[in-house]
Structure 1
């Protein structure tokens, strides 16, 4: 018991000296969640809506270009890849429309202005120039859309968006492999990837739970921020020092009492035999004869 108490006192003293880790329980800021919407599949965020629109427009551009490349491609390899991309984007477009219909998200019916300009330029190309522009352009587009998909997939609170983003990520990865297998992708012209330090913050930042909307509660795995408490914080204040001193004093007193009790227990105890002495019969008779 004394040894255990000593260990506890030492541990408390050590943590008081160097700080302890505390858990910051972030509560949702419901006032900041006005742009969110409640659905039966979970909260729908602005990023969820943007992802549906982005994939819808990428599908319109890629699907139309894939259909065009099946006829205008200069090589069999490009025409084969174009057919696969056209089918994949058609399936992804059907999924996007189905999810958007359930969630009430309006989708565009044509690519954005930049995509339309690229498609017009592609139509002016022919032969190997067409093949290279087709492979390079769609490879760049897929590489730009994929990070947005994975980001939403990692943080969305909506069940439909989560499943849709997972399927879209698989499809985009597969399409990039198709395009790269043509041998026409110039990797030196691809956007440079961001270093991990630029993607992951050095310190813990507020999670998406801080902007969750008011409404039906969702079961969400808690994400907490661990903050190191400085040695001059509340734990290492005067009250903590006084408590440590008191615990140390108690431990020393108990140790001293334990040693004293151990010393007393070690002294031998002299026993006194109080049992009655019984003399033998012959000894008694001999003494009686001597008396006579």
Structure 2
């Protein structure tokens, strides 16, 4: 008969099994939070990335960069107009736009930091050229150029922002774009209220038929659909990996129950093996002695 296994050995083996199962379950749990394993390479190839707030696409990144550079240009020009503006209306508008651009810049840096999007620290080359031209003006000429150029910039940005707002899959980008569109619309109204905007020099809007026919670039829909279908949030607002998390927890609990059952059955077998067995020999000998 084999000697019984010591209790501390059984518990050591059980503890090792629990640790191994826990590590395996949580490793699977962590890698299955967003269910993107099947389309990970496709997401990287097309510039898409998964975030806790939904997929982040190239248009989302471009929006953050565009707003950041507009904030750098508009904020600097607004401060300059507060000093050099020849009319009280222009100085008042410059003060309001400067405050708005400062708040918008804080928001874009916060959103970009949470999403891991690098931002530039300088305006575009065209914006820098415009800022140099503005610095060379004075008097009413400065006022007209400030109002006109800033109105053109805001008018060009607004359709891009509303387009991203309408189609983004990312919750942070959606909220930021909605707020940015409100700010720019207010800027345009303030600039137009100065009476210095020449509407005949504004870019013509594209015809509705052309805008509708343009659509997204060829091949973009397929990649976007793959990413979104694999990572879309549930209607209840829970994380996309909620079902996987529940399954992993159930597997871990079942494994613990199996280990505990094995420990209990092993202990019972050891106790049964150690109990003395009654044999019929002594009884037969005692009966034989009684006959004598």
TM-score under structure 1 length normalisation? 0.62
Match of 1:270 in 2: none
1:65-92 Cα distance to aligned partner (Å, 9 max, x none): 0000001000000000000000000000
Q: CA 1:180–1:107 in structure 2 vs 1: closer, same or farther (change >3 Å)? A: same
**Match for 1:187 among 187, 199, 210?**
199
Structure 1 position 162 matched with structure 2 position 167: no
Pick from 213, 228, 231 the counterpart of residue 217 of structure 1: 231
2:159 aligns with one of 147, 153, 160? 147
Match of 1:91 among 103, 110, 120: 103
Distance change in 2, residues 1:153/1:207 (3 Å): farther
User: SS of the residue aligned with 1:51?
Assistant: helix
**3-state secondary structure, aligned to 1:197:** helix
More helix by share: 2
Q: 1:128 to 1:220 in 2, by over 3 A?
A: farther
Distance 2:125 2:216 in 1: 38
Q: Report runs of 4+ in structure 1 exceeding 2 Å deviation.
A: 28-34, 201-210, 212-216
Q: Which residue of 1 aligns with 2:55?
A: 43
Alignment correspondent of 1:119: 131
In structure 2, the gaps of 5 or more residues are 1-37, 236-292
Matched, 1:200 2:192: no
1:277 corresponds to which residue?
A: none
Residues 36, 44 of structure 1: 8 Å contact kept: yes
The answer on 1:66 being equivalent to 2:69 is: no
Query: Relative CO higher for 1 or 2, CA cutoff 8 Å, sep ≥ 6?
Result: 1
Give 1:261's aligned residue. none
- CA–CA distance in 2 between the matches of 1:165 and 1:207? 25
Pairing partner for 2:94 from 82, 88, 98: 82
Say if 1:198 and 1:31 are closer, same or farther in 2 by CA, change over 3 A.
Answer: farther
CA contact (8 A) 2:55 2:227 kept: no
Inter-partner Cα distance in structure 1 for 2:142 and 2:164: 33
Structure 1 unaligned segments of length 5 or more: list them: 1-27, 222-292
* Matches of 2:153 and 2:127, distance apart in 1: 9
Inter-CA distance 178–30: structure 2 relative to 1 (3 Å threshold): same
Quick check: which has more Rg, 1 or 2? 1
Cα distance, 1:217 vs structure 2 = 1.8
User: How many residues end up aligned between the 2 structures?
Assistant: 194
Change in CA separation of 1:87 and 1:217 when aligned onto 2, cut-off 3 Å: same
Deviation string, structure 1 residues 32-59 (Cα, Å, up to 9, x no partner): 5321111000000011000000000001
Hey, what's the Cα distance between the residues in 2 that align with 1:60 and 1:51? 14
Partner residue of 1:138 out of 150, 164, 169: 150
Q: TM-score, with normalisation over the residues of structure 2?
A: 0.62
The verdict on how the C-alpha distance between 1:220 and 1:131 changes in structure 2, with shifts beyond 3 A counting, is: farther
